[in-house]
Each structure stands twice: as C-alpha cells, then as structure tokens.
Amino acid sequence: MAPPVFRFAPSPNGFLHLGHAYSALLNFDRARETGGRLLLRIEDIDATRCRPEFEAAIFEDLAWLGIAWEMPVRRQSEHLADYRDALDRLSALELVYPAFESRAEIARLVAAREADGPWPRDPDGAPLYPGDAKSLSASARDRLVASGMPYALRLDMAAACQRVTGLSWNELGEGPDGERGIVPAHPAAWGDVILARKETPTSYHLSVVVDDALQGVSEIVRGQDLFYATSVHRLLQALLGLPGPAYRHHRLICDDEGRKLSKSSGSTGLRALRAAGITPSSIRQLVGLD
Ligand code: GLU
C-alpha cells in the first residue's frame, strides 16, 4: 500500500506562531509514526497579503523546529491553471455564477434584510450572500462582465447540493463540539461561497481541494477553525470527482485570554520565542506535545 501523505499548508501573510508550530509538528509526527510523507504547501493566492519574506521565514522556522519536508514545495500562485481548470468543470455543470456586488453593497443588503429579522450567517459568522445575481439573465451577465465591472464567481449552493447528497467525512481528530468518526457534511450552511474572483481564478476552498487531490494527500491534519469548512471541501471534492481524504482536526492553541492566536500575536510568534532563548524542545512542551 502507498504510504500516507500529509501536508502542512501555511499562508505566507505573517510570521508563524505557536498554533502553526503545533499543526506542523503534529503533521510531522503523524508522518513519522506512519512511515508517511510530509509535504509543505505555500498557500499564496492572496497576492495583496502574501510576501516572499514571510515564505522564507516559514522555511527557516520549520527547519529550526526540526521539521523535514519533501521537495519541491508547491506554491499555489504557480498553479493557477489547475484551479482555472477545476472552475471550468464546475461552470460546465452550471454551478457557478458571477455576482457583481461590492463588499459595501453586500453589507447594505444584509442590513436591509436584517430589518425584518436576523439574516443567516455562515459557521464563521459572516452573513450568507444576500444578493440575487443568480437570477440575472445570461445577456445581463455578459453585459456586466463586458463592462469591466469586478465580480466574484459564486457556487450555486442549492444546485450543487441537489447533485450530491449524503456527504460525510472520516474525522480522526475532533470537531469543536466533540464530533468524530463519520461526520455528516452540511455545506448549505455556507451559502453561495466564492470560488474565484475576476482577478484571481481561485479561492481558498477551491485551491485547497484541487491541491490536496493533485498531491495525493490522504490525511489532512489542521486546526479546528477549519472543521466546518470541511463540508464545503467535501462538496467540491464530490462535484469534481476527487477522492475524500481523512481529516484530523486538532485543538487550537490560544493566548492567555483564551483567544485564537493570530499572525500578529507578537509574544507567541516563533521568532520572538526563539529570540527569547526558547528551544525547539520547549516549543513542543509549550504546545502540549511529548
Ligand atoms: N492556508 C490555511 C491557513 O494558513 C490552511 C489551509 C488548510 O490547512 O486547509 O490557515
């Protein structure tokens, strides 16, 4: 049997912190325990926030932690054609439509709907897409696209959920409410998610699913903050005919006030800890490993 494949997939939009160290070390440990392979993927599709110096720091910090990964490293910005291809396949199934509202317009639409009561929110707390671009005629769409207006390409969630039902995944870790084992997917909770934008032919959801399949990842070890997004990933995998890997969501490392760490959380940044003389083995202890 082929060895299991793991991946650590950071975005180079800031320095790594203790939460990343925990995730990377868990992946590394799982790969070692199982005789598996560990890949590193740089998720750099957001050109406005990702920077080469953060990528260089990722390599350096992981090596300092004692983590070894296979080469070459996959950098998402170099594979836009793969995502465009997946997007074209979803478009051919008539599951994708352009929506032209700006973020400010969406906020106004949500506020107007909330005058009549609460408007549904996705598992991350963002309001579901409130617009009706889905019902624009083909000619109106073409006209707006031709006018050069910016747009987001959204998944027609209702149509997608009609095509594939009964989705689930094998959870080897634990969800925020203790979910484990075979977990049913609820992608509709996310509404018409964005799959791409006029300027960027992909999104986090689309590229993560395409890459995990292209790289043959068999067990995805990542933070519980992405537990609910797995429902969208399972849906896209099914629509694109891609295999469904196992998932192992892990607890999040929090700061002293119990908040999830962010890339700007200075004192828990690996660089700050290293500068303060903390060793890689104490990082393991700090995150509760060994
Ligand atoms: N790039 C994502 C992040 O840095 C992780 C994606 C994933 O593990 O699925 O949060």
Q: Distance between CA 59 and CA 55 in Å, rounded?
A: 7
Q: Which of 58, 75, 74, 70 is nearest to 21 (CA)?
A: 58
pLDDT at position 274:
94
Q: How far is the CA of 49 from the centre of ligand 1 (A)?
A: 14
Using most ligand atoms within 8 A of CB, pick from 11, 210, 231 the residue to mutate for ligand 1. 11
Reported as a single tens digit per residue, the pLDDT across 124-173 is 999 999 989 999 999 999 999 999 999 999 999 999 999 999 999 999 99
Higher pLDDT, 259 or 28: 28
The response to whether residue 252 sits with its C-beta less than 6 Å from ligand 1 reads no
How many whole angstroms from 204 Cα to the centroid of ligand 1?
A: 8
237 C-alpha to ligand 1 centroid (Å): 17
Which atom number of ligand 1 is nearest to the Cα of residue 212? Answer: 9
Per-residue pLDDT at 74:
98
Where does the pLDDT of residue 266 fall: very low under 50, low under 70, confident under 90, or very high at 90 and above? low
**Any atom of ligand 1 within 6 Å of the Cβ of 9:** yes
Share of the chain above pLDDT 90, in %: 93
Q: Does pLDDT of 267 surpass 80?
A: no
Query: Which atom in ligand 1 lies closest to the alpha carbon of residue 7?
Result: 8
User: Which of the listed residues 226, 228, 236 should we mutate to test ligand 1's pocket, taking the one with most ligand atoms within 8 A of CB?
Assistant: 226
With a 6 Å cutoff on the Cβ, whether 249 touches ligand 1 is no
Distance 208 CA to ligand 1 centre (A): 8
Interior angle at CA 228, CA 222 and CA 233, nearest 5: 80
Q: Which atom of ligand 1 is nearest to the CA of 20?
A: 4
Which two tokens mark 140?
């109106």
65 C-beta closer than 6 A to ligand 1: no
Q: For residue 222, what is the enclosing H or E element? A: strand 219-223
Q: What is the CA radius of gyration of the chain?
A: 20
pLDDT at residue 251, rounded to an integer:
95
Tell me what pLDDT residue 3 has. Answer: 96
269 lines ligand 1 (CB under 6 A): no
Distance CA 224, CA 270 (A): 21
Q: Is 90 in the pocket of ligand 1 (CB under 6 A)?
A: no
CB 203 within 8 A of CB 194: yes
Angle at alpha carbon of residue 76, lines to 75 and 77, rounded to 5°: 95
Under the banding of pLDDT at 50, 70 and 90, the label for residue 265 is low
For residue 184, cis peptide bond before it (omega within 30 degrees of 0)? no
Q: Tens digits of per-residue pLDDT, 180-197?
A: 999 999 999 999 999 999
CA of 147 to the centre of ligand 1 (A): 35
For the stretch 67-76, pLDDT in tens is 999 999 999 9
Domains and CATH numbers, the chain: 1-78+254-290 (3.40.50.620), 80-215 (3.90.800.10)
Say whether pLDDT at 95 is over 90.
yes
pLDDT of residue 166: 95
> Residue 257: what pLDDT?
77
The residue whose CA has the least distance to atom 4 of ligand 1 is 10
Rounded distance from Cα 99 to ligand 1 centre (Å) = 25
Residue found under tokens 């594939």: 164
pLDDT at 252 over 70: yes
Distance, in Å, from the CA atom of 242 to the CA atom of 276, rounded to the nearest integer, reads 45
Cβ(122)–Cβ(130) under 8 Å?
A: no
153 lines ligand 1 (CB under 6 A): no
Distance CA 167, CA 89 (A): 20
User: Beta strand pairing status for 181-184 and 168-171?
Assistant: antiparallel
- Rounded to two decimals, the pTM is 0.95
